[in-house]
Amino acid sequence: MITRLTIKQPDDWHLHLRDGAVLGAVLPDTARHFGRAIVMPNLVPPVVGFEAAKAYRDRILKALPDGAGFKPLMTLYLTETSDGADIARAAEAGLVHAVKLYPAGATTNSDAGVRNIETVYPVLARMSEIGLPLLVHGEVVDGDVDIFDREKIFVDRILSPLRERFPDLKIVLEHITTRDGVDFVKAQNANTAGTITPHHLMINRNALFQGGLRPHYYCLPVAKREIHRSALVDAVTSENKRFFLGTDSAPHPDKDKESACGCAGIYSSPVAISCVAQVFEDAGALENLEAFTSRNGPEFYSLPVNDADMILVRDEDPVAVPEIIQAGSDTITVFNPGTPLYWRVANE
């Protein structure tokens, strides 16, 4: 049995840091383990332009623990009035590394998102020209579509035609939850990739209802059937370079999760690496862990692999998963997959 691994320091290619007290509370958990992270722009108000992205990056850097080498990779929020020239300026300055497409109403703080994809075609054309990736929350929001089918319908109705129209545009289908999403990425050219989260690798939709309604397993896109979770595991543990880690760690105060209309989001940053290592061990694929966590993402984004190493150790006893973290006067519950995790980061 393998009990020790050394891999290049991972990156998180899909992360929510929020702002204010929550930013200060959650950022250390990411900075301990990850060299870089693609930071989501769905604040209130959203991060839509150069100046807003610069100001948000400055707040993140100011909140970093002393001595942390973590680098935030900023993104812009795509709206139907986004300025292609401003986006290009931010990209050429090295400030932003991607633009995020939220279908309006699809998830947290997405009301300013896109309702008609054709309205942003000119911006997408400009992004294609300069090689700036489009990050996609892949769900339709039609009321007549079952919530468990929203990703598949989005792939069929929106993403496939978009891929055909802009073959040179780099597209990342984020937080894939279905076999359909996996198959889409596999079938496309090298300009198409997908991120997959630790929680979608570890739980299926049954987790939402075991012993009652479980709000801390509720996220968007929601977890799907076991056949889909298995397809995600097969994808990440394979040697396909176009799947990489994006935790979609999304903190919400417990008072907002445990309410009559609970927020969608799972906070996984403290245990993300332990979760993913456990998934790879269980699949008998630890030799492919480094590619998924540390190499595939940088290659897609045309960035160097991190120089630093991460040492992972497998203990005989399960890792102690923290229950909560404190964010000002609020608490935030940490993701617990409900199954033992034996891998920990030894050189935190």
Instruction: Provide CB contacts within 8 A for 251, sequence distance 6+.
Output: 16, 18, 22, 25, 26, 265, 267, 327, 332
b/e for 195-224, b at 16 or more Cβ within 10 A?
Answer: bbbbbbbbbbbebbeeeeeebbbbbbbbbb
**pLDDT of the residue at 110:** 85
d(CA 16, CA 4): 30
Structure tokens at 74: 């900023």
Residue extents of the structural domains in the chain: 4-345
DSSP secondary structure letter of residue 263: P
Q: For 286, which DSSP code?
A: G
CATH of domain 4-345: 3.20.20.140
Beta-carbon contacts of 217 under 8 Å, excluding residues fewer than 6 positions away, are 199, 203, 207, 208, 223, 266
Query: pLDDT tens, 178-220?
Result: 999 999 999 999 999 999 999 999 999 999 999 999 999 999 9
Active-site residues: which are they? 248
Q: Is the peptide bond prior to 221 cis by the omega test (within 30 degrees of 0)?
A: yes
DSSP state of 154: H
How far apart are alpha carbons 32 and 28 in whole angstroms?
6
Whether 42 contacts 109, CB under 8 Å? yes
pLDDT, residue 240, reads 97
**What's the pLDDT score for residue 348?**
85
Residue 244 and residue 292 in contact, taking contact as beta carbons nearer than 8 Å = yes
How high is the pLDDT of residue 108?
84
What pLDDT does residue 160 have? 98
Calculate the alpha carbon distances from 230 to 132, 191, 227 in Å: 31, 25, 5
Predicted pLDDT at 229: 98
Euclidean distance between CA atoms 298 and 242, whole angstroms: 11
In 3D, which of 158, 128, 127 has the Cα closest to residue 140? 158
Tell me what pLDDT residue 109 has. Answer: 80
Q: In the chain, which residues have pLDDT < 70?
A: none
Q: Specify the amino acid at residue 334.
A: V
User: Strand locations in 227-279, DSSP E?
Assistant: 243-245
In terms of Cα–Cα distance, which of 208, 197, 209, 143 is closest to 173? Answer: 197
**Model's pTM, two decimal places?**
0.97
Given a contact cutoff of 8 angstroms between Cβ atoms, the answer to whether 103 and 141 are in contact is yes
